[in-house]
Structure 1
C-alpha cells in the first residue's frame, strides 16, 4: 500500500486510511485487525489513528445504507475495493444523524475527492467521487426514501441477520437491531480490592468526569475517554468491562482456596474479576499464545496472579487430572450479542456459522464438565443472541450430562438506555451431582 502524500492531520488522510480498512473487511478481515494493518503500514499519529478508527466503525454501522445508495448513485460497482470503501466512508459520515456530526457535508465531499486524487490506484475516479457525493447531497431526501423499503438499508444488517432476529424475538427484534447500531458506552468495573463503586464515582466527579452506576461494581462514563486518561486505570483500580459481562464472576460464587478454571479466557476481563472476588487458585486457558500475553498484561496491571496455559478447551492435553471446583466456560460463538462493539461482525458472519460454532461449543462444554468435581459448578456464557448457541445449547447440555440447572439470568438482550446499558449475553449455571 503506497504511502500517502496527504497531511496526516487532514480528514482526507483519515478517510483514505478508513477506506483501506473497510476494503479489508469486505475481503473477510475483522475490523480491529484491518485497522492494525493500516496503522502498521502508515504509522499515523495518534489523532489520525483515532479518526480512522472512528470513521471505519461509523461506516460499519451504516454500510447497508451506504451500499444501497451506491447501487443507485454509481453506474457500476465502484472498483477497486479501496474506491468502494472511500465512497462508503464518505456517505456514512454524511448519513450521520447526530446533532454533533463530526464534519460538515461540504468538507466530507472536498476531502473525499482530495483523498481519491492522492492515491494513484483510484485517482482516475476523483471526478466520479465528486459526482456521486454531490448528487447524494442534492437528492438526499428522495434517495433515502427510495432505499427506505430495503431491510438491509433501513437496519444496516444483512437480510439473513434481520430475519434471524425477527424469528427469535418477534416482539423485540426492532429494539435489538437498534441497540446494535448504537455506539457502545465505556463501562468500567471497579476493583473491589482497591476501592468501592461509590468512592470511585466521587473520585471521577472531583476530576470533572461525569459517570453513573450500572451495577454493584459497574460505572458508565457519560463520555468515553482514552484509557490512559481514566483515573486509577494504570494502578488497577478499574478495568474496562461491559456491565453484562460483569455478572459472570459473581454467578460462579468463588470462595477462598477454590481451584477455578477460566476456559477460553482471553482477553482476561472475567479472569481479573474472578481474582478480585476471592483468593483462588485460578488457571486461565486459551488456545492463542498472543491472547494469553494480553491476559498476563491485564493481571500485572491489577496486581493479581493466575496460572496461564495455552491449550484447546475441547481437548485434554493441558489438564493435569486434578478436578476444578468452579469452571467458567465462555465458549466460542457468533458474537451476535456484542455487535454494537464490533459492527463488522454482521458483515463477516454467515447464516451457517451459528450451527458450526454451536457444535464446537457443545464439545467444549462436555469436555469441561468431565473436569468438574462433584458438587462443583460450571457457568456457561456466550455473547450470542441466537437460541441454538444459547438456550437450546444449555438445554441440550443439561439433558446429555444430567446437569442440575441453577438460577442464572439466561438470555440478556442488548439494551442502550438511561440506567441500563449493556451487551447481549447468555448465562446458564449448572451444578454436578455429588458422589
Structure 2
C-alpha cells in the first residue's frame, strides 16, 4: 500500500475525472464532519469498491484539497453566500474549485474541470437536480482572470489553516510563522530508515539507485540510518521492504532512538508505542529488553506486524500508560520513551486533515494528558535512568512549557541535552534560498519536540 503521508501526485489516467472528484468529495466531507482521513479513506474505499488506482487518486486529490480548503471555502462563499445543500454537492464544488486554483499541483483545463464537475452531478442521483447550478457556478469562477477575492484576505482563506492555529504560530514564532505555514503547503519528502541489522545504509542506497530511485543521506551524524528519496513511491516498490531492510520514518522522528542512548540488556519502556516506528528503531540499534505499551489493542497489532517484518522482538501489552498500577511489575526501567498523545501539529504538512480536525480547546486538554503521563511514569524510572519526552507538535504548551513545568514539579529530574523544538522543514524546489528560522535544517523533517530527563541517583 502507499504511505498516506507521502502519496505521489497521480498522473493522467484513463479513469474519468468525475469519479475522482466524487471520491475526493466524499473524503473531504468526512473530514469536515470530524473523521480523520486515515479512518475515512478505507471506509469509503470499501463502500465504493475502489480499486488501488481509484483509492490512490482519491487520496492524493483529497490531500491537495485539504491543503487549499480555506481558500476554496472563501471562494465558494463569495460565489454563493448561502449554504450549499446537500453537503456532497458542497464538497464536489470545493474539490473542483481547488483544481482551478492557480497554485495547486493537480492542473487540469478549466473546461475539463467544469465539464467533469457537472458530470459528477449527473452521475449521482442525489445531485442531478443541481447540474445547472454547478455548471453556472463553476463557469462563473473559471471565467475570472485570477482566483482572487476580498475573502482571500481572511486568515483561513489566506493561510489555509484555522485562524486560531495561525494566531498560535504568530505568538510562538513571530519571526518564522509565515515560513511554517508555507512549508505545510508543500508535499513532504519521503524519508526512509535503513535497518542496519539487515543491510548497510550505503548498500541499500546502491540498491535504490539500481531500481531508479535516488536516495540522499542527511548531513547529520544523528541520522545515520536515514535516506531521503527524491520522489515518493509506494512502499511495495522499495527494494527489500517485505524482507525488513527498510522502514518509512521522518527524519525528525529518527532522533529518538539515539537520544535515549539505550545500552545492551537494559529494560526499556515504550509507553505509547503504536504504530511502532520508534520501538523498532530502538531494537535495530541495540539488543535490549523492550516493553511496548499502548492502550489501543488494535493499534498495538501494528507494532507487532512492524517488528515481525523487521525481524525484531519486544514484549507488547495493551494497557494505559497513565495507570501503572494496572500493569507494572514493580521492576524499574533504565529507559522510558514517552511519545505522548498530542495535537500532531508538527506533522500537518504530511497529514493535512489534522489542521481542520483540531480545535483550540484540544491543546490544553492534550497538555493535561501529557502532564498526567509524565507524572505517572517518572516513578517507574530507575535512579540514573533517562526518560525521553516526545511530541510531534509545534505548540509550546505541548513542548517547552510542558518540559519546564515537569522540571519544576520534580526535584530529582535533571534536564539533559536534547534538541528541544524541531520545526517543520521542507526545501522549496523552486528556491535556492536556505531556510533561516530557528532550528533551521538542510533536510526535510516534521515538527517534533524532544526533552530528555535524567533521574538523580
- TM-score bracket, shorter-length normalisation: over 0.9
Counterpart CA distance in 2 for 1:299 and 1:252 is: 19
**Larger displacement relative to structure 2 (350-359 or 178-187):** 178-187
Instruction: State which of 260, 277, 287 in structure 2 corresponds to 1:279.
Output: 287
CA deviations over 1:263-286 (Å, ceiling 9, x no partner) = 111110001100001001101110
Q: Which residue of 2 aligns with 1:345?
A: 354
Counterpart CA distance in 1 for 2:443 and 2:102 is: 24
Q: Which residue of 2 aligns with 1:176?
A: 180
Q: Which residue of 2 aligns with 1:4?
A: none
The two structures, once aligned, show a CA RMSD in angstroms of 1.5
Q: 1:59, 1:89 within 8 Å by CA — same for their partners in 2?
A: yes
Counterpart CA distance in 1 for 2:228 and 2:85 is: 42
Instruction: State which of 309, 321, 340 in structure 2 corresponds to 1:331.
Output: 340
Q: 1:333, 1:358 within 8 Å by CA — same for their partners in 2?
A: yes
Q: What secondary structure does 2:320 align onto? A: coil
Q: 1:267, 1:292 within 8 Å by CA — same for their partners in 2?
A: yes
Counterpart CA distance in 1 for 2:215 and 2:111 is: 35
Instruction: State which of 422, 430, 441 in structure 2 corresponds to 1:412.
Output: 422
Q: Which residue of 2 aligns with 1:60?
A: 66
CA deviations over 1:223-255 (Å, ceiling 9, x no partner) = 111111011111111100000000000100011
Instruction: State which of 91, 111, 119 in structure 1 corresponds to 2:116.
Output: 111
Q: Which residue of 1 aligns with 2:451?
A: 428
Q: What secondary structure does 1:420 align onto? A: coil
CA deviations over 1:359-390 (Å, ceiling 9, x no partner) = 01100011111111110000000011111110
Q: Which residue of 2 aligns with 1:231?
A: 239
C-alpha displacement at 1:424, in angstroms?
A: 0.4
Instruction: State which of 372, 383, 388 in structure 1 corresponds to 2:381.
Output: 372
5+ residue gaps, structure 2: 1-12, 429-441
Q: State whether structure 2 residue 183 is matched by structure 1 residue 186.
A: no
Q: Which residue of 1 aligns with 2:208?
A: 204
C-alpha displacement at 1:391, in angstroms?
A: 0.3
**Larger displacement relative to structure 2 (257-266 or 77-86):** 77-86
Q: Which residue of 2 aligns with 1:322?
A: 331
Instruction: State which of 141, 150, 153 in structure 2 corresponds to 1:146.
Output: 150
C-alpha displacement at 1:428, in angstroms?
A: 0.3
Counterpart CA distance in 2 for 1:357 and 1:387 is: 12
Q: Which residue of 1 aligns with 2:6?
A: none
Q: 1:8, 1:14 within 8 Å by CA — same for their partners in 2?
A: no
Counterpart CA distance in 2 for 1:157 and 1:39 is: 27
C-alpha displacement at 1:31, in angstroms?
A: 1.3
Q: Which residue of 1 aligns with 2:256?
A: 248
Q: 1:409, 1:428 within 8 Å by CA — same for their partners in 2?
A: yes
Q: State TM-score, norm by structure 1.
A: 0.95
Q: What secondary structure does 2:126 align onto? A: coil
Instruction: Please list every run of at least 4 consecutive aligned residues from structure 1 whose deviation after the TM superposition is greater than 6 angstroms.
Output: none
How do 1:36-115 and structure 2 match up within 5 A? 36-95=42-101, 97=103, 101-115=106-120
Q: Which residue of 2 aligns with 1:120?
A: 125
C-alpha displacement at 1:101, in angstroms?
A: 3.4
Counterpart CA distance in 2 for 1:258 and 1:118 is: 61
C-alpha displacement at 1:145, in angstroms?
A: 4.3
How do 1:13-32 and structure 2 match up within 5 A? 13-32=19-38
C-alpha displacement at 1:162, in angstroms?
A: 0.6
Q: State whether structure 2 residue 220 is matched by structure 1 residue 216.
A: no
Q: Which residue of 1 aligns with 2:304?
A: 296
Q: Which residue of 1 aligns with 2:3?
A: none
Q: What secondary structure does 2:385 align onto? A: strand
C-alpha displacement at 1:96, in angstroms?
A: 5.2
Q: 2:193, 2:226 within 8 Å by CA — same for their partners in 1?
A: yes
TM-aligned CA distance change 1:30 to 1:96, over 3 Å: farther
Counterpart CA distance in 1 for 2:388 and 2:454 is: 9
**Larger displacement relative to structure 2 (100-109 or 332-341):** 100-109
Equivalenced residues, count: 426
Counterpart CA distance in 2 for 1:138 and 1:412 is: 43
Counterpart CA distance in 1 for 2:215 and 2:103 is: 25
Counterpart CA distance in 2 for 1:162 and 1:12 is: 33
Instruction: State which of 352, 360, 364 in structure 2 corresponds to 1:355.
Output: 364
C-alpha displacement at 1:10, in angstroms?
A: 2.1
